[in-house]
Amino acid sequence: MSRSISFLHDGGIGDIIYAIPAILSILKNNNVPKAEMYLQLGGETAYSGWHPLGNKLLSKDFVDRLAPLLKSQPYIQDVKVYDGGKVDVDLNGFRHLPINPTTYCLPRWYFLFLVGTSWDLAKPWIIVEAANKFRDYILVNRNPRLQSEYINYRFMNDFADQIVFVGVRREFDEFRKECPKCSNFYEATDFLELAQVLAGARCFCGNQGFIYTLAEGMKTPRLLETNNRAANNIPTGPHCYDALFQQGFVHWFNFMCKAYPLPQ
Residue 126 counted as domain residue:
no
pLDDT at residue 34 above 80? yes
Beta-sheet strand order (sheet of 4-9): 76-81, 34-39, 4-9, 89-90
Co-location of 81 and 152 in the same domain: no
pLDDT at residue 44 above 60? no
Over residues 225-229, the mean pLDDT reads 95
* Contact between 17 and 213 (Cβ < 8 Å): yes
Residue 80 counted as domain residue:
yes
pTM of the model: 0.93
> For residue 126, which phi and psi values (nearest 5 degrees)?
-120, 120
Q: How far apart are CA 133 and CA 218, in angstroms?
A: 17
> For residue 65, which phi and psi values (nearest 5 degrees)?
-80, -30
- Is residue 224 within a helix (H) or strand (E), and if so which, with residue range? strand 222-225
Residues contacting residue 248 through CB under 8 Å, at least 6 positions apart? none
Domain of residue 250, CATH code: 3.40.50.2000
pLDDT at residue 228 above 60? yes
Segments forming the whole domain that contains residue 94: 4-113
Return the bridge partners of 163, or none. 138
pLDDT tens per residue, range 172-207: 999 999 999 999 999 999 999 999 999 999 999 999
Q: Which of residues 12 and 264 earns the better pLDDT score?
A: 12
pLDDT given at position 261:
73
Co-location of 29 and 136 in the same domain: no
- State the chain's mean pLDDT as an integer: 92
Q: How many domains does the chain have?
A: 2
Co-location of 104 and 185 in the same domain: no
Q: How far apart are CA 25 and CA 125, in angstroms?
A: 11
pLDDT tens per residue, range 52-81: 555 577 989 989 999 999 999 999 999 999
